[in-house]
Chain A
């Protein structure tokens, strides 16, 4: 089959990717079956809470892949990727708000509750269209994409690089956070968007819907992984890596460095938006704190822990760190920030290539040791 051939060709020399995708498929199937088919009393039953939690992790993993594309492959350390994630989330949140219809507390068929509360009489113009699912999905990609396009065009054109870029991306997400905190923006202010009822007619509280969202997240992550792998393996990907390693040299050879950077930045922002859109229906809320600079930086540490520039490392890091976060915030909330802080320091000092780099080094050492005998 040609399509299978293509997929395999994409994964050529990508052992980590193969392992990750197989595991992802196994876990996705196993978790859905154990949740839906196994009765609740059974020790093998996976609770819906766990399914949603895993779905959330998969969204984070997708976000981490998006960041790895720009950071690991293009050397752009964006400290504002949470902004793209949150924007995608807000688009989805707006759709879900419109789906609530007249079942809100105030029973207004057009206006979400918070607008009724603010005494608004009509929907702001930017809310139009969000009652259509196709339009929403378009916007989920377009809004972050266009923001990344404008911002990236301005930044790369004037050759803002390195740390400067990191800081202004951080300022970007900070400014957005402040803006979304304002009630006048029409996005629910401090509380954000919440109390969702259903998605495409499926009740969001149902187990089946939850499992469905989990499976869709897994599928999206897998597809995004393939696409991202394809992109980095392509000629474009090679140029992007060249830009990362020696920007001036790539420019002097004749590549339009800005266009390559912009392309990968926009693509990454769209992936982040998609991750946000999958995240919101599972978590059930989107509020301005998703924009907070801390989130973006935490995202960077997921990628760093896993090992940047490998894609599957980003996934591994996102899953591990978030698992640790869930564990610590539940069991030892005091310790979590200590752990996270230490993680930052330890990873940058001792694991420059993350866990994946550690494994690779081990293996290389092992083969070196074996070679003489």
Chain B
């Protein structure tokens, strides 16, 4: 890796590969017992932001695969137009940031569930049983990543499952299968020979909101520290209008 990149990545919240492995083998922090899955694996995702072209193929393929209500998402790619205040002469850039449930090793969403509808498997995947869920929304509010939502159809908590219905039969999550640029790499961090383990060895990866100590398991390559938490930016567009300027109704 180029020296300049290393310099660039020296920032708060940097998570080294060693630390990842250490986290991965640690037993879960206080909270309900993990159940289901196979402790031999620890599923995780690396997201190489340098390869993301912001095409949203992941977003749409997730929506097609998991069929959440229209307008509700388990993953998206946030896209930021960045004017670097430190280098005013530098041209503006686009920064792409795919987001999804982090399947944290210390998931704050689980202890708050009053009915234990949401739980973590031995392999780290955080899931929700929507027949137990009462839709109270505590988990939605506990998640520091806004990764959960109340499904408008089921009225229960919903989020990314890492496509565990596919992963458990040897397939890849829909978003990974459809990642045009190859930014999303899914795999087992307990397998030292896996592609993701190699990436975690090679790159100084970062996680979102490291200060929350949630130990997320989505690892970002090429992450600018300024995007780890809340991003200061201009307000975006809210109203949808036609060419006559008429505001249109929601579907």
Specify whether A and B are partners.
no
- A residues with CB within 8 A of B: none
- B residues with CB within 8 A of A: none
